[in-house]
Structure formats: structure tokens, C-alpha cells
Amino acid sequence: MTTSYKNDLLFFVLTFFNFITDVFTYYKYKLNEIIEIYNNLNRGKWIFNFDINPSILPFEAVNNNEYNISDKWIYDSLENKLCYAGSSNIIKHSWLSAEIVEHINIDLKTPNTSILNIDKFLETFKLYTDDNNPPTLMHILLCISIKYKKWFSNNSEVKLTVIDDIGNYLHLDIFTNTTCLTIDKNNKLQIKLDKSNND
């Protein structure tokens, strides 16, 4: 074998090795990008599990093979979107303004009241469900808690004050009026109360 031939072979092997290394590096980089995009898609998503006790789980903490999420509510805090079981039917809310009033009793002598205006939340809030599965007030409260990172104590009295689309002031106890939401024929979220239930 001549020296020229050996040099040509060595040059070919090194060029081929560099080519393979470049291709591997490129696809490794692209794969990392895809994994990062996938991780970001699930970041900010929460699953509401009301089977036994009201609880919420971060989407990343759930193994889809072991946990059936097909009949669950999922909240995406990045998009401010609450969705039931993958529904694509958008529901509009009929609230002009709303706030959450929390009466905190640290002790019997010093009651404390906290008010959270949720108008900004409602401006961007999107709800996807069907007519037979309206959310509860607890679902809405948990979405607000996640979005604002404001958690309400079980020992507090939590009320939602709403001005609806016809100007009625409604005062709803989150825990006693939790199933008062319905969806009308125009795909609008409405509050249905007995007159005795509204303060």
C-alpha cells in the first residue's frame, strides 16, 4: 500500500467520523428541543380529582397509564383554561364582575376579611365542557387559587360575590352553593339559586 493511499483512507475515515458525529449532535439537539417543548406543554396543567375528596394534582405528577384522566377536569394555568374530558365546546360566562370575600377567624376576637377581585381572571378565563357537566364553584375557586397562588383555608368562610349579566348581585357561599352553576341553551354559564339561598 502506498503512502498516498493510506493518507486517503485515513482522510476518508476521519471525514466520515466527523460527519457521523455532526449528524448525531444535530439529532440529539433536536430531540432535546422536542422534549423541552413537550415538558412545557404540560407545565401549568392541573388535574382536578373529585372522586373522593376535592384534590388537585400537577399534570407532571400523574402517570397516564395508571390514572384515568378521561373523565377529569384539567386546568391550564398558562392559558387560563378549564376543560372537561377533552371537550372542545366553549362555554361563556355571564358575569360582569366578581370578587371572592374570605372571612378568616384567627381567633374569636379578631376577625379578618380578605377581598380578591377576580375581574382580570374572568377576562381571560376559558371554559370547555358539555351541557351535562357544568363546573362547580369549587372548580372555579381552585382555578383562581392556582392562577393567583392564593389558597383559602377550610376554616374560613369563603363567598363569591357576582354581578351577573342582568345586573343582579349574587352572594354565593363556595361550600354550600357549590353546584349552582348550569349551562343554558346559548352555551352560557349561569347561576341558578333558590331565592332563599341568596343573601
**pLDDT beneath 50: ranges in the chain:** 197, 199
Q: What is the pLDDT of residue 42?
A: 58
Determine the pLDDT at residue 122. Answer: 92
DSSP state of 71: T
| pLDDT (0 to 100) of residue 39 | 60
pLDDT for 176: 79
In this structure, what C-alpha cell is assigned to residue 34? 422536542
Residues 6+ apart with CB under 8 A from 195: none
What is the pLDDT at residue 12? 86
Please write the tens of the pLDDT for every residue from 47-97: 887 655 667 777 777 766 556 666 688 899 889 999 987 788 899 888 899
Coil, strand or helix at 50? coil
**What pLDDT does residue 128 have?**
94
Distance of alpha carbon 183 from the chain centroid: 20
Q: How buried is residue 8: exposed, middle or buried, by Cβ count under 10 Å (0-12/13-18/19+)?
A: exposed
